Amino acid sequence: MTRLADIAGQKFGRLTVIRKVSVTGPAKWLCQCECGNTKTVYGRCLRDGVTQSCGCLRAEGASKRGKRLAASHAGNRLIDLTGQRFGSLIVQCRAPGLGVAKWHCLCDCGGTTDVASADLRKGRSRSCGCGRYAVQHDLTGQTFGRLTALHPILSTRSPDGAPLERKEGTPWVCKCECGEKVIVYGNRLVTGNTSSCGCLKRKLLLDNRLAMTHGGYKTPEWRSWHAMIDRCCYDNSIAYHAYGGKGITVCEHWRDFANFITDMGPMPTDRGRMSVDRFPDNKGGYWCGHCPQCLANGWTLNARWATYQEQAINRTYRGRRMIEFDGETLSIADWARRIGIDQSVLSTRLRDGWTVEEALTIPTLPTEFRGPRARERYKKDA
């Protein structure tokens, strides 16, 4: 076993070893510093030069560095920037606080900010931040739903002094159709997320309460009526472009759910899921046919309860091939369903040159009659 070296009386830096104080474990030695303090130090820290004082050496070094720094700034004099202009900023006065000198500045946009002297003199700060928020798209005068954009806000605060975040674009002062002025971010205007000052939502809630007073709230009839009003009357609806945007309207009498359910009656329950449909004029609106507005415009009743299948057929009349036979006009799918054959068979017959009468009157051919000359063989055998 290696015998531990006795370093009592030796000097390491400012420390003089007095005696060993540890019994087990790493050796610890009691040392006295030149400043008069005592300190217990590990033997390996003394031999490796890691510890050379009780801590006074580090404190003296920090003090010397502080004195040198103070001496270097002793000849510097603070330059008064009051009244000077730097870009869009005009210095008003020195901002309170210790440390780096900052100046309270007024921006041309009306905002205020505190800027360090070096940032002003070196041109790193030339505005309160409004220069970073230049308007990318001019929305002045444009209408978004019920809102008309008046002017952007370029400062970092609203007219009432509240801070503004710009995560969703430039804030715009907008005027609603009801007369209220609100601040809306440009992205919300363009995407349609905000289309009123809040009056549109209040009106919808009022419609809901009116429906609730008649006991039909959230019934199938109410949901169908509510969807009709939403897509025809509210321009923030996802389907408005296909209904209200194309001039499809709801007469004033049917804006009230009580009047609508009185005229239409309850939704039939024996034919599956249904909804309100424009019939017989698919290009017209939802009209009751007897209110003053309908009478003044010559509108007749143009609504019915229709199944989803009837709705789909009604929508596809505009794009599907229509076939007229025996005084009746239907789509290929309707004729196939009527005569009891597959739609693909009927389409193939017409594509192969069969007349409408032959395609609709000849039943599905047996296997032996199928082929390019199936009609001739069928007629000959018949």
Q: Residues 373, 328: one domain?
A: yes
Q: How far apart are CA 39 and CA 13, in angstroms?
A: 13
Structural domain ending residue among the three candidates 267, 300, 316: 316
For the question of whether the overall pTM of this predicted structure is more than 0.85, the answer is no
Structural domain ending residue among the three candidates 197, 219, 238: 197
Domain count, the chain: 5
Q: Look at residue 268 and tell me if it is in a domain.
A: yes
Q: Residues 269, 330: one domain?
A: no
Is residue 276 helix, strand or coil? strand
Q: Look at residue 80 and tell me if it is in a domain.
A: no
Helix, strand, coil share of the chain (percent; to 5): 35, 20, 45
Structural domain ending residue among the three candidates 160, 176, 197: 197
- The DSSP code sequence of 181-245 is EEEEEHHHHHHTS--SSSHHHHHHHHHHHHHHHTT-TTSHHHHHHHHHHHHHH-TTSTTGGGTGG
Specify the pLDDT at position 59: 81
Q: Residues 220, 294: one domain?
A: yes
pLDDT above 70 coverage of the chain, percent: 78
Q: Look at residue 75 and tell me if it is in a domain.
A: no
pLDDT in tens, 78-136: 788 889 998 888 999 988 877 788 889 988 777 788 999 888 888 888 887 765 555 56
Q: Look at residue 293 and tell me if it is in a domain.
A: yes
Q: Residues 302, 233: one domain?
A: yes
Q: Look at residue 61 and tell me if it is in a domain.
A: no
Q: How far apart are CA 251 and CA 289, in angstroms?
A: 9
Q: Residues 241, 264: one domain?
A: yes
Q: Give me the domain span that covers residue 327.
A: 322-381
Q: Look at residue 308 and tell me if it is in a domain.
A: yes
Q: Residues 192, 209: one domain?
A: no
